[in-house]
Structures are given as structure tokens and as C-alpha cells.
Amino acid sequence: MKITRQRLRELIKEECEAIEDEEYEESLLREADGDLDIFVMNTTIVYSKDINTSSMLNKIRGVEGVTRATPQGESVNAGPNLLRHFIDIKFIIERGSVELYTNKLIKKLGSFPEIIRVRVMKVNQVER
């Protein structure tokens, strides 16, 4: 039985898709089994009034590892052009220490031009 090149390509493509699907399913199972560490960082963030709160929260959610950025209450004036908001940031750590990731996250948030100051009040691990 002879297999044409076209048929061989199709078989290889099907096998690659099956492998990718299997790897994706395994990653979902690892996540469901609790291999990931989930933390919540309680922060106070001072930011410019030039950006609205939802846009600032979306920027925070865009940081790698962050799964949720939830404001607590309303923002308050922190100066003539500044707002201060209590925000809970939920993030996942697959490997490494929470201190290293927290420092990386604070530096990343500080690199946004609209965010003036980030103050971490506490970091708690979330129980599943």
C-alpha cells in the first residue's frame, strides 16, 4: 500500500493536532488538580486622573500571571490630578517564589506611566 505525499502530510497534521489537544487537556487537568499557587495581593494604587479606572484595571489584568484586578470601594482624591484606589490583585504562580513574582509585578505596575505609586498591604495565598 503506497501513501502519497499529500496523504502523508494530512496524517502528520492530524497527529500534530491530536498531540496539541492532549497537551492542552493535560494543562487543564494540572490546573484543576491544584498544581498552581493562587495569591491575592491587597494594594493601594495612586494613579493619574487622565486614565479612567476601568482602563487602568485592564492594564493590570494584562500583566502575565494576573487573573483578576478588583477595586474595593470607590476611588478617592489623592491630589489635584491623582486618584487613590484599594485594589485586590489575584495572580497565579506556576513556579518560583511569591516574593520574586510580587516584586516583578510591582515593578511592572510602576512602569505604567499613569500609575504613580503602588503600595502592597498584604499578600495571601488563596485556598481552593
CA 99 – CA 96 distance, rounded (Å): 9
First to last CA, the chain: 54
In this prediction, residue 17 carries a pLDDT of 80
Indicate if the pLDDT at residue 86 is higher than 90.
yes
In this prediction, residue 9 carries a pLDDT of 87
What digits encode the pLDDT tens for the residues 103-125? Answer: 999 999 989 999 999 999 999 88
Judged by DSSP in three states, 107 sits in helix
In this prediction, residue 12 carries a pLDDT of 84
What digits encode the pLDDT tens for the residues 6-52? Answer: 888 888 888 878 777 777 666 666 655 555 678 899 999 999 888 88
Q: What pTM was computed for the model? A: 0.69
Instruction: Determine the average pLDDT of the residues in 77-99.
Output: 87
Strands of the sheet containing 37-48, edge to edge, are 66-79, 82-93, 37-48, 115-125
Higher confidence at residue 18 or residue 90?
90
In this prediction, residue 97 carries a pLDDT of 83
- C-alpha torsion angle, residues 47, 103, 61, 41 (rounded to 10): -90
